[in-house]
Amino acid sequence: MQRTRKCRKWVVIMGLTAMLMTLLSGCGGNAGNKEKTTAADPASRQYYIFDTVVNIKLYEDPKAEEHLDHIDTMLKTLDQELSRTLETSQLYKVNQEAGKQAVEVSEDTMEVLKRSLNYAQETDGLFDPTVGGLVDLWDIGHEGAHVPAPEDLQRELSLVGYKDVVMDEAKQTVFLKRPGMILDLGGIGKGYAADKIAAYLRGEGVKSALVDLGGSSIIVVGSKPNGDSWTVGLQDPDSSRGTIMGNIRLNDQVINTSGIYERYFIEDGVMYHHILDPRTGAPAQNELKSVTILTDNATDADALSTVVYVMGLEKGMEFVENYNEETQALFITKDNKIYATTGLKDTFKVTDEQYSLVE
């Protein structure tokens, strides 16, 4: 039996290539790590939260360090609320009390869960925040990941069901009806945190900033310091050399990618990636390598990149086309074809001849 694991980040900002490729290529980091800057450099800081390295750069802002300190406090608070693995967190307590009693939670936790359940309803359960047991069972991205026994898979699959999550907004409580249910907000929590950061920066009058969540999601606040749009390069999912296969320009937007190359293992010659289908409890099987969502908020981008991948090309394309005007998507198939929703067909530029944009 053969097992391999890989961690690869693949969104880079062109024009600041040297710095951001250094930041995005790693798979780890330290909370609150400050970088030394000169007057010409952006103020930057690296955080580690939700099992993800977060890098933030603020340009030409006299209160940058004050803002970065505030963001540090903000992220630590969200971690104490939304982390599934932190034993002191609100979400951990909700899961511990499954089938027993409701748990009082913060406004942020209520909002994230409310939005998660809305996505679940909109997608008929293809996005389901109660997949925590399945995530633990597969444990993809950690040492020792393997294909679970059928009886274990069926047990955890039987505990998936967003309709069994009870929210009492008046009392601000959450209750899981069945013992053993596990909420996992990892499919939306990082995006929500990024939106909180961006909202704070905009409220403070910051005109130019980058918020990078682990390399798979980037939110740009405003434009580049010189007023130009940011140019984001998408790396070839199959390349280990940082080869860019296309690029797109952003201004005050979010780009988020989910792909099968991000976290996976190989067992008996079969690849098992981390994007689970709540209907089967197993990694989603379709023709896609990745899905990239471009929109105006990170919460949508975080959730949609995953659920649209599970839908597959045809249904995913239809879903995004009908979602809203601000949301667009790129689909990369295993035969190196790129499919773009209407709003991206004229703005995404393919730069690698191995790939072709389907008109």
> Of 15 and 266, which is predicted with more confidence?
266
Q: For residue range 110-132, what is the model confidence (pLDDT) as tens digits?
A: 999 999 999 999 999 999 999 99
Q: What is the sign of the dihedral through the CA atoms of 8, 13, 14 and 18?
A: negative
- The size of the chain, in residues, is 359
Q: Predicted confidence band at 187 (pLDDT cuts at 50, 70, 90)?
A: confident
Domain borders along the chain are 90-176
Residue 79 structure tokens? 């971690």
The DSSP line for 122-189 is: HTTTSS-TTBHHHHHHH-TTSTT--PPPHHHHHHHHTT--GGGEEEETTTTEEEESSTT-B---TTTH
Would you state the pLDDT for residue 242?
64
Would you state the pLDDT for residue 188?
92
Residue 144 structure tokens? 């020792």
Q: How far is CA 56 from CA 183, 268, 347, in A?
A: 28, 40, 26
CA pair distance 231, 16, nearest whole angstrom: 10
Q: What is the mean pLDDT of residues 179-184?
A: 98
Q: Predicted confidence band at 3 (pLDDT cuts at 50, 70, 90)?
A: very low
End-to-end Cα spacing for the chain? 42
Class of domain 90-176 (CATH, top level)? mainly alpha
Q: Percent helix, strand, coil in the chain (nearest 5)?
A: 30, 25, 45
What pTM was estimated for this model as a whole?
0.86
**Residue 277: pLDDT above 70?**
yes
CA pair distance 192, 83, nearest whole angstrom: 13
The chain-wide mean pLDDT, for the chain, equals 87
Pairing of strands 356-357, 337-340: parallel
Residue 188 structure tokens? 């939306």
Percent of the chain residues topping a pLDDT of 70: 88
Q: What is the mean pLDDT of residues 303-322?
A: 96
Contact 351, 244 (CB under 8 A): yes
Percent of the chain residues topping a pLDDT of 90: 77
Q: Predicted confidence band at 9 (pLDDT cuts at 50, 70, 90)?
A: very low
CA pair distance 52, 26, nearest whole angstrom: 11
**Residue 250: pLDDT above 80?**
yes
Q: How many Cα atoms sit within 13 Å of 88 on the Cβ side? A: 5
